[in-house]
């Protein structure tokens, strides 16, 4: 079945620096890759997604890149701010069209 | 409006109680989901409703019983739960499908504690 590996599990960056979270997937048929941000006590919030017909997508300080050949995709957050502190999940669909989440990355923005 | 509303936000119940979790969306989405999330873990899919019909049951114990009264509402009926069922229960919705290939929107969850 589909397997989504996410790294690192914890990431601390200085405020203003960039953060990068990486995911790999196993099913070459996967074609939709969302990223979710989950703050403490809240549900996951979709922050950006990418489909397999593009290699990069950007929304203000957040960008996602996709390498279909290597089967990996990454979340890039630039000019990090305290409110970026949260748990981030990548995801990909399996062949049954069910979403499979990575294990999550806890991002700490240091003052 | 991209909101999925879940009630209650918190619930404490005994192992012999019967309770229900409720979820509502008004985005016209035709697929709705229940997920269970334990601390420091990703959400785990429990049930998927597509066009008000149960399309996926991830081998969830029968003490969890989903119901979709109409396209905007999703309930999860709880009976005879165990302490290990304590978790954050998340509802989500998407335009259609099984959630893998379209944007899914999550509610804030119900924090359930079974005592």
Beta bridge partners of B54: B49
Q: Which residue has the tokens 């290990």?
A: B84
Q: Give residues 29 to 58 of B whose Cβ lies within 8 Å of A.
A: 40-43, 45, 48, 56
The partner residue sitting opposite B101, judged by closest CB among A41, A42, A93, is A93
* Segment B4-62, tens digit of pLDDT: 999 999 999 999 999 999 999 999 999 999 999 999 999 999 999 999 999 999 999 99
DSSP classification of residue B84: G
Residue B85 burial (CB count, 10 A):
18
Are A42 and B109 inside 8 Å of each other by CB? yes
Buried b (16+ CB within 10 A) or exposed e, B23-52: bbbeeebebbbbbbbeeeebbebbbbbbee
Segment among A8-22, A82-96, B73-87, B94-108 with least mean pLDDT: B94-108
Beta strand A10-14 with A105-110: parallel, antiparallel or unpaired?
A: parallel
| pLDDT score for A98 | 86
Hey, of B2, B23, B43, B107, which one would you mutate to test binding to chain A, going by the most A CBs within 10 A of its CB?
Answer: B43
Nearest-CB residue to A98 (from B41, B90, B100): B100
Give the confidence band of B2 by pLDDT, cuts at 50, 70, 90: low
């Amino acid at each position: 079945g589909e397997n989504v590996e996410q790294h690192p599990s914890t990431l601390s960056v200085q405020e203003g620096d960039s953060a990068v979270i990486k995911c790999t997937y196993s099913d070459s048929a996967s074609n939709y890759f969302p990223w979710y941000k989950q703050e403490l006590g809240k549900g996951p919030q979709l922050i950006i997604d990418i489909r397999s017909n593009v290699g990069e997508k950007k929304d203000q300080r957040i960008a996602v890149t996709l390498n279909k050949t290597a089967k990996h995709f990454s979340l890039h957050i630039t000019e990090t701010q305290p409110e970026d502190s949260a748990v981030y999940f990548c995801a990909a669909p399996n062949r049954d069209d069910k979403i499979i989440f990575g294990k999550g990355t806890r991002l700490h923005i240091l003052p | 409006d991209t909101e999925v509303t879940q009630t209650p936000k918190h619930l404490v119940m005994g192992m012999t109680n019967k309770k229900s979790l409720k979820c509502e969306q008004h985005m016209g989405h035709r697929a709705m989901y229940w997920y269970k999330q334990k601390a420091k873990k990703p959400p785990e899919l429990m049930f998927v409703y597509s066009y008000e019909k149960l399309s996926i049951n991830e081998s969830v114990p029968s003490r969890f019983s989903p119901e979709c009264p109409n396209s905007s509402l999703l309930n999860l009926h709880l009976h005879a739960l165990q302490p290990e069922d304590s978790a954050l229960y998340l509802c989500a919705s998407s335009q259609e499908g099984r959630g893998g290939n379209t944007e899914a929107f999550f509610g804030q969850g119900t924090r359930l504690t079974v005592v």
